[in-house]
Amino acid sequence: MTEFGFIDSIRRLFAELPDNGFEGIGDDCAVLPLGDGTSLLFTADLLTEGVHFLRAATSARELGRKSLAVNLSDIAAMGARPVATLLSLALPADAEDAWTAEFTEGYRELSARYGAALVGGDTTRSAGGITINVTAIGRAPDAHVKRRDAAREGDVVFVAGELGASGAGLRDILAGRYDTPLAAVHRNPEPQVGEGAWLGARSEVHAMMDLSDGLASDLGHILDRSSAGAEVELSLIPVAPGSDLRTAACGGEDYKLLLTADPSAADRLAADYLARFGSPLYPLGRITARPGLVWLRDGRPEPLDWHGFEHF
Ligand code: ADP
Ligand code: MG
């Protein structure tokens, strides 16, 4: 079974149980409206040695930062600000005290940068490799919470940064080249924390998520949940220096925000974003009524069998 097939089966199996006021499985975070005009948001991500990282290819400090960064990215993806995290670690006997201390330093660095408290977790021995689980909690005004299901026909699709650097860096790492600039990008994702909260406050932003599995796959989630389609112009995809178009469209772990916006306010949104953050929102195409993702080259449909990557 694929990762997404498994998640779907869990969703169905638990659908009959009480939701206790939560919006549950299916978005970047679970949302709990508190009844005071604000919501709490919850997300969890797991990193396991040998699947998500190689101990020899990353420093413990980088891993500490990354394990938090990928969770903060999910909070930002819904327009919220992080408030707290829980950190659980399974450590084998050969993970030395120095490794753990460095990991904690990296985790603390990013916690301090974004004002997220560490409020709990669990620590245990592992009979296999290192496993890291982070749960992040965010908060936002109810009206700022952006979901994957809110894309509307005619919306402009934007991405909030260049794509493909992380995927190209992963290729370097898997080829044993750990010290390239792209490999460093792969190990050091920057969550768009301020950007996400700012975009959350803009009512012309309809759907939003973060790109962890690649544009081809993740835009598909917005389209599925919004019962819509999209046309994406290949020449508009911002390819990071050193990467290539296919990696930008299908590679994972860029952690840039993907959003759709009201076409009548899209230019203004992009101009304000540029003025605020000094980097562009890149328009990629449009949301269509007809389901499915269509790649265009110079305005003409191009049949491409491109999918994102699944990291289970
Ligand atoms: P993201 O890439 O944003 O972290 P995922 O693709 O990992 O999201 O997960 C998609 C959705 O499925 C999310 O809402 C997530 O909370 C949920 N999910 C993933 N794994 C599980 C699981 N084992 N049990 C319940 N929900 C899960
Ligand atoms: Mg996400």
Ligand nearest to the CA of 196: 2
List of domains in the chain: 14-144 (3.30.1330.10), 148-301 (3.90.650.10)
pLDDT at position 309: 64
* 251 close to 168: Cβ distance less than 8 angstroms: yes
List ligand 1's pocket residues with C-beta within 6 A.
7, 10, 25-28, 45, 74, 212
Instruction: Give per-residue pLDDT as tens, 89-128.
Output: 999 999 889 999 999 999 999 999 999 999 999 999 999 9
DSSP letter string over 178-201? TTSHHHHHHHS----HHHHHHHHT
* 280 close to 228: Cβ distance less than 8 angstroms: no
What pTM was estimated for this model as a whole? 0.96
User: Cα(26) to centroid of ligand 1, in Å?
Assistant: 7
| Residues surrounding ion ligand 2 at CB below 5 Å | 28, 74, 210, 212
Ligand 1: residue of 6, 7, 217, 254 to mutate (most ligand atoms within 8 A of CB) is 7
CB neighbours of residue 305 within 10 Å: 5
Tokens 């089966």, located at residue: 9
pLDDT at position 95: 87
Instruction: Give per-residue pLDDT as tens, 171-219.
Output: 999 999 999 999 999 999 999 999 999 999 999 999 999 999 999 999 9
User: Cα(50) to centroid of ligand 1, in Å?
Assistant: 20
Instruction: Give per-residue pLDDT as tens, 241-255.
Output: 999 999 999 999 999
Residue 164: pLDDT over 70 = yes
Q: How far is 256 from 2, CA to CA, in rounded Å?
A: 24
Q: Which atom of ligand 1 lies at the shortest distance from residue 74's CA?
A: 3
Instruction: Give per-residue pLDDT as tens, 220-243.
Output: 999 999 999 999 999 999 999 999
* 48 close to 169: Cβ distance less than 8 angstroms: no
Tokens 């993907």, located at residue: 258
Nearest CA to ligand 1 atom 27: 7
Residue 138: pLDDT over 70 = yes
